[in-house]
Chain A
C-alpha cells in the first residue's frame, strides 16, 4: 500500500519514541512459551499410559458385557437343591461388580483433564478445553469453574477474582487466585490489580 504511506507522518510517528516492554514481561512471556512446549514431554507419557489403561479397561468391560449372551445360551441354572454349586458360580457375582467399576473407567478422563485443562499442550484430551480458551466456548470438562477459567484471559480471570474480593467471597477468591498462580506462575500481576485480588 505504497499509496497510503506518507513519509512525513511516518517520520513524526517514529519521533514519538521507541518504548520497549519491560524485561520482566519478556521473561514471563518467554517462560510461559517454553513451559507450554516442555510440559508436553513431561506429561505426555503419563497421558499415554492413562489412555492405554482406559482402553484396556474399556475392552474388559466390553468383553464382560458380551458374556450375558453366552450365559443366555448356557444350560439353565441347577435346581435349588444344589446350594454348593451355586456358591461357585462366579460369573453372575462378578458381573455386577465389574459394572460397578464402570465409573472408574471414565474417571481417569477428568482426573487427567482437571489438572491439565488450563494448558493447551498436554494430552490430546485437552483439545476441547484449548479451543474454549480462545473461542469462549464452554469446555466439556465436568468442573465448571475450571472450564470457565479456561475460557478467560488471564486479565479477565483476575478481574473476576477482584469481583469476588469486592463481594467479600474471600475463600472463593483465595481458591481462584491459587489456581491462577498455578496456571500462570510467571504472570506479572500489576501492582494495582494485585491489591484487588490478594487478601488483605
Chain B
C-alpha cells in the first residue's frame, strides 16, 4: 500500500529526501497543468511551477497534516498565482489554444475535431481567473468544494458559485457545437 501524501510530507520534513521525490512524482503533472492553464504562457507557467515547489520546500517545517497535502500544496499555488495576477492587474489571461491542440499527442485526440477542442479551450481561457482556478482545482487537482474554499481563502459558498459558473460556461461552449 502506498504511503499517503501527508505521511510522505512528514517524512520529508524529518529529512527524507526520497519521500519528497515520491510526492513530487505524484503531483508534478497535475500541478504543472493547473498552472499552465491558469496563466498565459508556458514560460511563465514554468517559473511559477518552480516557485511553488520551492516555496513548499522552504515552508516544509511549518507543514502540519491538519488538511490534505493536496490542499496545502494548492494553497501555495493559489497564493503564487494571486501574486502573479496582482502584478498584472488581474487581467484576463488566455490559454494558448494552438499550443494545447498541437500538444494533444494522444492518438485518441486525433479523432476529435480541432474546432471542438478550440471552442472548449477558448471557453476555458475566457473564464474569469477565479472561476477558471476553481474549475482547475476541481478538475485537475481533484479538490472538493470545501478544499477549494480552503485553498483559495474563501468560503464554500463562493467556491461553489465560482465552480458552478465555470461549469455552466464550459457546458454552454460544448453545447454550442
User: A: which residues have CB within 8 A of B?
Assistant: 1, 4, 6, 8-10, 12-13, 15-22, 25-26, 28-30, 32-34, 36-38, 40-41, 119-121, 127, 130-131, 133-134, 153-156, 184, 187-188, 190, 192-193
Contact = CB atoms under 8 A, between A and B. Distances in A.
Contacts of A12: 116-117, 120, 170, 174
A153 B54 contact: yes
Contacts of B139: 9-10, 13
Given A134-B59, A153-B51, A33 B109 contact: no
Q: Is the interface of B mostly helix, strand, loop or mixed?
A: helix
Interface of B: 12, 15-17, 20-21, 24, 28-29, 32-33, 36-37, 43, 46-51, 53-55, 57-62, 80, 83, 100-101, 103-106, 108-109, 112, 116-117, 120-121, 124, 138-140, 144-145, 160, 163-164, 167, 170-171, 174
Contacts of A184: 54
Contact of B20 (A33, A41, A190, A192): A33
Contact of B58 (A28, A30, A130, A155): A130
Nearest to B121: A16
B47 A20 contact: no
Contacts of A41: 15
B36 to A, nearest CB: 6
10 contacts: A1-B138, A4-B145, A15-B104, A16-B120, A120-B59, A120-B60, A155-B51, A187-B50, A188-B50, A190-B43
A21 B43 CA distance: 11
A33 B29 contact: no
B176 to A, nearest CB: 13
B101 to A, nearest CB: 8
A-B complex: 3 closest residue pairs judged by Cβ atoms: A17-B103, A34-B17, A17-B104
B50 A134 contact: no
Contact of B61 (A19, A29, A130, A190): A130
Contact of A33 (B21, B59, B163): B21
A120 B174 CA distance: 47
A32 B103 CA distance: 29
B120 A28 contact: no
A139 to B, nearest CB: 13
Contacts of B53: 29, 32-33
Contacts of B32: 19-21
Most A CB contacts (10 A, CB to CB) among B50, B57, B101, B145 go to B50
A34 B53 CA distance: 12
A83 to B, nearest CB: 62
A18 B145 CA distance: 24
A134 B20 contact: no
Contacts of B51: 153-155
Contacts of B117: 12, 15-16
A10 B167 CA distance: 10
